[in-house]
């Protein structure tokens, strides 16, 4: 179903107005960028209750969990940008080769222009506003498209963003798939999308029609490797926590576990115990909607393994209790599709090398986790696997740093957080300046033999 003509015209007008604001030069200066970052920090601080209430309405997310996963992470990224963006804006000098002397060479970052940020529902504030940090730190005008599957959060952000930030340069458009489709029909200077690999392909195809560059933050099946020497109680507690957080609806959640057979039974018992404790004691985030509950139920229908926790789900209330599946069929849908829910497959392996081979036989994941007390084992996994990021002896905390975050291959392209977010939304322009004085005619064709000899001498050719 397409958007109506009036809505389509409105989308085009917003796009046009954003491009006009950028063309005016208003967003280029450091003072504008600083004011936007400060406004974003005020938005988070002054509206904590309203924002966490919106996430609770959309996802049943406990307020403290919403504060930690969405508000705190966004605040930290905005603070980092505020502290460093002026140094990121500075030119970088380069040495001028002999053939280009005399002269001065440097690069300088400049904003790309008008960018589109499309966010998902699972962390509806963090995954919309952290990319925004990089975009405004780099001096762009921005159109934000929050997820329609988190309608309360979408509505509060649409209300607050223009109140705290430059409402002419940073706009919010709400709507469903039809709205996103119309947005992607327009030429953007950059498209930033977070979501599934399937939709990522659609976004990339649409952007290609305009040769718009894209950043795709996708997902996939992030593995966890448990070595024989791992601290099993700690590993079990941390894996269970990461799988239970946000009801497993996290792109870097542990999707499945590969555990050394010598400790597999002990680890499995421990992780089941931890998940039982979580099911009984901790408040749970809901599955986003009934359709996703039924999708998770379908993954449990034909996995070929053994379920170690009883199924307990209800599409009406959007609840889905954690389930551990031991030894599922590697060819089952459970082991081929991203789970995005609180189901934890556990597979025994004979060795670390077998675990590495299992991972490498599958698409490159967004994240990889390894639990080991051995530096040699850690190094072997780091050297012989490829993933967007790695966390050793814990899970998901790598995303909370200012290090670049992004996927590789089917799990995404491009990165953000910290300076990498600034770089994603910037063009690094190369500049060379040469003086007009001392312009020797002998350096133009036809080249006199004496000129040729001098040039060969000063360039040390041949190189001996």
* Residue 288 contacts residue 318 (beta carbons within 8 Å): yes
Q: What is the DSSP letter of 426?
A: E
CA neighbor of 256 nearest in space, from 150, 368, 390, 419: 368
CA neighbor of 342 nearest in space, from 240, 264, 252, 257: 240
Write out the H or E segment, with its range, that includes residue 205. Answer: helix 197-208
Per-residue tokens: 145 = 């498209």
* Residue 2 contacts residue 180 (beta carbons within 8 Å): no
Q: What is the DSSP letter of 459?
A: T
Beta strands at 92-94 and 104-111: parallel, antiparallel or unpaired: antiparallel
- Candidates 251, 274, 338, 391; catalytic one: 251
- Candidates 65, 182, 217, 378; catalytic one: 217
**Does the annotation mark 148 as catalytic?**
no
- Which residues does 204 contact at the CB level (< 8 Å), separation at least 6? 214, 216
What is the full DSSP assignment across 49-63? Answer: HHHHHHHHHHH---H
Alpha helices in 230-371 (DSSP H): 232-244, 264-281, 290-299, 333-336, 352-360
CA neighbor of 357 nearest in space, from 330, 387, 384, 391: 384
**Does the annotation mark 391 as catalytic?**
no
* Residue 317 contacts residue 286 (beta carbons within 8 Å): yes
Q: What is the CA radius of gyration of the chain?
A: 26
* Residue 396 contacts residue 253 (beta carbons within 8 Å): yes
- Residues identified as active-site: 217, 251
């Amino acid at each position: 179903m397409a958007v109506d003509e009036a809505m389509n015209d409105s989308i085009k007008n917003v796009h046009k107005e954003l491009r006009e604001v950028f063309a005016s030069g208003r967003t280029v200066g450091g003072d504008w960028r600083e004011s936007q970052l400060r406004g974003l920090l005020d938005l988070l601080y002054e509206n904590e209750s309203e924002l966490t209430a919106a996430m609770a309405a959309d996802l049943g997310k406990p307020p403290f969990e919403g504060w930690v996963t969405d508000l705190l992470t966004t605040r930290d990224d905005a603070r980092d940008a505020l502290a460093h963006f002026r140094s990121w804006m500075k030119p970088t000098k380069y040495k001028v080769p002999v053939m280009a002397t005399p002269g001065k060479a440097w690069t300088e970052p400049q904003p790309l222009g008008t960018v589109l940020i499309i966010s998902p529902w699972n962390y509806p504030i963090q995954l919309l506003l952290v990319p925004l940090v990089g975009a405004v730190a780099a001096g762009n005008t921005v159109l934000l498209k929050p997820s329609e599957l988190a309608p309360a959060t979408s509505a509060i952000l649409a209300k607050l963003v223009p109140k705290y930030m430059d409402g002419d340069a940073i706009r919010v458009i709400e709507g469903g798939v039809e709205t996103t489709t119309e947005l992607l029909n327009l030429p953007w200077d950059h498209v930033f999308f977070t979501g599934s690999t399937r939709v990522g392909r659609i976004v990339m195809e649409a952007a290609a029609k305009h040769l718009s560059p894209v950043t795709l933050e996708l997902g996939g099946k992030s593995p966890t490797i448990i070595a024989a020497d791992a601290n099993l109680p700690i590993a079990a507690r941390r894996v269970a926590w990461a799988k239970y957080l946000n009801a497993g609806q996290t792109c870097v959640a542990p999707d499945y576990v590969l555990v050394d057979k010598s400790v597999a039974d002990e680890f499995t018992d421990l992780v089941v115990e931890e998940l039982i404790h979580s099911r009984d004691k901790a408040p749970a985030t809901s599955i986003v909607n009934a359709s996703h509950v039924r999708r998770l139920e379908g993954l449990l229908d034909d996995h070929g393994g053994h379920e170690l926790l009883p199924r307990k789900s209800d599409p009406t209330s959007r609840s889905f209790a954690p389930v551990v599946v031991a030894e599922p069929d590697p060819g089952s849908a459970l082991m081929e599709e991203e789970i995005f829910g609180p189901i934890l497959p556990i597979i025994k392996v004979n060795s670390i090398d077998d675990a590495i081979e299992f991972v490498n036989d599958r698409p490159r994941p967004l994240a990889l986790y390894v639990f080991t007390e051995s530096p040699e084992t850690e190094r072997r996994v780091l050297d012989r696997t490829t993933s967007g990021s790695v966390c050793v002896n814990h899970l998901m905390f790598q995303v909370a740093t200012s290090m670049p975050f992004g996927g590789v291959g089917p799990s995404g392209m491009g990165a953000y957080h910290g300076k990498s977010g600034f770089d994603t939304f910037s063009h690094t322009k190369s500049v060379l300046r040469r003086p007009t004085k001392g312009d020797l005619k002998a350096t133009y064709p036809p080249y006199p033999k004496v000129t040729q000899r001098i040039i060969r001498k000063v360039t040390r050719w041949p190189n001996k």
